[in-house]
Amino acid sequence: MAKAQTIIDEEVLDEIEEPKKRKKTKEVTNETLTFLESLNGIGPTTRKRLEDAGFGSKESIALATRAQLTEISGIAEKTATLLIREARAQFDLGLKKGISYQEAAKKRIKLQSGSSVFDELLGGGFESGSITELAGENGCGKTQIVHQLAVNCINQLKKDVVWIDTEGTFRFNRIKEMAEDLGLDHEHVLERITIGRAYNSEHQMALTEEAITMTPNIGLVIVDSLMSNFRNEFAGRGTLAERQQLIGKHLAFITKQAEIMNFVAVVTNQVAAKPDAMFFGDPNRPVGGNVVGHTVTTRIMIRKGKGEKRTATLTKNPELPDGKIEFAVIAEGIRDYKG
Ligand SMILES: Nc1ncnc2c1ncn2[C@@H]1O[C@H](COP(=O)(O)OP(=O)(O)O)[C@@H](O)[C@H]1O
Ligand SMILES: [Mg+2]
């Protein structure tokens, strides 16, 4: 029994139009059904409209924006939203030829940081299609960096920003200062940033999924900070396994969407003292254990120096050498450190 095809999110079944034609218990045994045919809630009229508009496949819907689906095929906005959500959830990352990786790599975008040496450390900037982690102590400048990246995303990529704020540290005023320094209309910039203030881990995961699904033309997804809610809620050792499982799920969702939609994903992270390395190297390590350490593609450690001076150390990336640079956090944003 091809059960997977019949089990569609109840929410989708309930919301998608033409509910009269839906047969909840219908078994789908035909493996060749298209994505649209496999959704019981999508009637023939809607299906034809979508197919005629070039949205017959799961891939085309997963990569479409809500506006495209409603404008080109004329379907309801709610249906479009649910279809996109379902298509993205089902998107299968099946077998591919090596050459397709070369094609994907060509499409990867490098989002600039504001500091040219910082960008060089990252081979040109923060890369789309995977997660980059910024880790460091309180006040080292992680939140400043993501403010600058948000402004740069709109300026350089002309794309929208999703910002999941778990500590209430988003500051529209910093966006204004950084935008104005680049000669941008700050209201236009703020208009393109969707902020989800997440009060607990469940809220954080739900808001992330909702914001990514609902925002057309995403260039950057920020989670600032990744672990604070999880650390507050799952304090005891007994709940650690559950916590790690949820974080894994959270990061897997972001990774998958970043790959499919080719946006830049940046998460910030706290650090805790390593019990085993008191005397050598950096005494701190990012929290979240192996789940975070293995899932992020790029890991950057940020350290505070004197005044505006900061250092960034690249400690993990599959194709770049490790390295360390100096940069500055100033009123205008992130810049090269001039000494
Ligand atoms: N307007 C500003 N001008 C210059 N430096 C600033 C400004 N705002 C914040 N900073 C610097 O950024 C620091 C806060 O960094 P933040 O990004 O909030 O740290 P983190 O998120 O790593 O805890 C401040 O202590 C200050 O050094
Ligand atoms: Mg912060």
Supply the CATH number for residue 52's domain: 1.10.150.20
Residue 120 lies in a domain: yes
Query: Quick one: 146 and 238 in the same domain?
Result: yes
C-alpha–C-alpha distance, residues 119 and 111, integer Å: 8
Q: Which ligand sits closest to the CA of 302?
A: 1
Query: Quick one: 53 and 116 in the same domain?
Result: no
Residue 96 lies in a domain: no
Average pLDDT over residues 192-217: 94
Q: Is the pLDDT of residue 128 over 60?
A: yes
Query: Quick one: 59 and 188 in the same domain?
Result: no
Residue 11 lies in a domain: yes
pLDDT, position 51 = 86
Cβ–Cβ < 8 Å for 306, 337: no
Average pLDDT over residues 320-335: 97
Top mean-pLDDT range of 18-22, 129-133, 241-245: 129-133
Q: Which ligand sits closest to the CA of 176?
A: 1
What total of structural domains would you count in the chain?
2
Closest CA to 167 of 102, 232, 94, 250: 232
C-alpha–C-alpha distance, residues 337 and 339, integer Å: 6
Residue 97 lies in a domain: no
The pick from 269, 329, 330, 332 for probing ligand 1's pocket by mutation, whose C-beta has the most ligand atoms within 8 angstroms, reads 329
Neighbours of 158 (CB within 10 A): 10
Instruction: Spell out the residues 6+ positions from residue 94 whose beta carbon is closer than 8 angstroms to its own.
Output: none
Range of the domain at 299: 104-336
HEC sequence for 260-328: HHCCEEEEEECEEECCCCCCCCCCEEECCHHHHHHHCCEEEEEEECCCCEEEEEEEECCCCCCEEEEEE
Q: Is 197 helix (H, G, I), strand (E, B) or coil?
A: strand
Residue 95 lies in a domain: no
Q: How confident is the model at residue 277 (pLDDT cuts 50, 70, 90)?
A: low
Residue 99 lies in a domain: no
Q: How confident is the model at residue 94 (pLDDT cuts 50, 70, 90)?
A: low
- Write the DSSP string, 106-174: HH--EE--S-HHHHHHTTSSEEBTSEEEEE--TTSSHHHHHHHHHHHIIIII--EEEEEESSS---HHH
Cβ–Cβ < 8 Å for 189, 333: no
Average pLDDT over residues 261-277: 89
Q: What is the DSSP letter of 19?
A: G
Taken in order 87, 91, 264, 147, the sign of the CA dihedral is: positive
| Boundary of a domain, candidates 90, 118, 133 | 90
Distance (Å) from CA 270 to ligand 2 centroid = 9
Q: Which ligand sits closest to the CA of 165?
A: 2
The pick from 144, 308, 330 for probing ligand 1's pocket by mutation, whose C-beta has the most ligand atoms within 8 angstroms, reads 144
Query: Quick one: 145 and 44 in the same domain?
Result: no
Query: Quick one: 211 and 186 in the same domain?
Result: yes
Query: Quick one: 78 and 150 in the same domain?
Result: no
pTM of the predicted model, to two decimals? 0.78
* Residue 85 one-letter amino acid: R
pLDDT, position 46 = 87
Atom of ligand 1 nearest to the CA of 224: 21
Atom of ligand 1 nearest to the CA of 134: 22
Atom of ligand 1 nearest to the CA of 331: 3
Q: Which two tokens stand for residue 84?
A: 């996109």
pLDDT, position 323 = 97
Instruction: Spell out the residues 6+ positions from residue 25 whose beta carbon is closer than 8 angstroms to its own.
Output: none
Query: Quick one: 274 and 308 in the same domain?
Result: yes
CATH, residue 325: 3.40.50.300
Residue 256: burial class (beta carbons within 10 Å; 0-12, 13-18, 19+): middle
Query: Quick one: 140 and 15 in the same domain?
Result: no
Distance (Å) from CA 288 to ligand 1 centroid = 24
Beginning with the edge strand found earlier in the chain, give each strand of the sheet holding 218-224 in spatial order. 193-197, 160-165, 218-224, 264-269, 131-135, 298-304, 309-316, 323-330, 333-336
Query: Quick one: 178 and 287 in the same domain?
Result: yes
Give residue ranges with CB within 6 A of ligand 1.
Answer: 136, 138-144, 329-331
Atom of ligand 1 nearest to the CA of 329: 5
| Boundary of a domain, candidates 32, 64, 90 | 90
Residue 214 lies in a domain: yes
Residue 280 lies in a domain: yes
Q: Is the pLDDT of residue 315 over 80?
A: yes
Distance (Å) from CA 63 to ligand 2 centroid = 32
C-alpha–C-alpha distance, residues 317 and 213, integer Å: 27
Ligand 1 atom 12 nearest Cα: 141
Query: Quick one: 144 and 179 in the same domain?
Result: yes
pLDDT, position 92 = 57
Cβ–Cβ < 8 Å for 131, 266: yes
Closest CA to 90 of 36, 143, 162: 36
Query: Quick one: 13 and 134 in the same domain?
Result: no
Average pLDDT over residues 32-61: 83
Query: Quick one: 278 and 319 in the same domain?
Result: yes
Average pLDDT over residues 280-296: 89
Distance (Å) from CA 168 to ligand 2 centroid = 9
| Boundary of a domain, candidates 67, 90, 113 | 90
Beta bridge partners of residue 310, listed in sequence order: 304, 327
Q: What is the DSSP letter of 237?
A: G
Cis before 228 (ω within 30): no
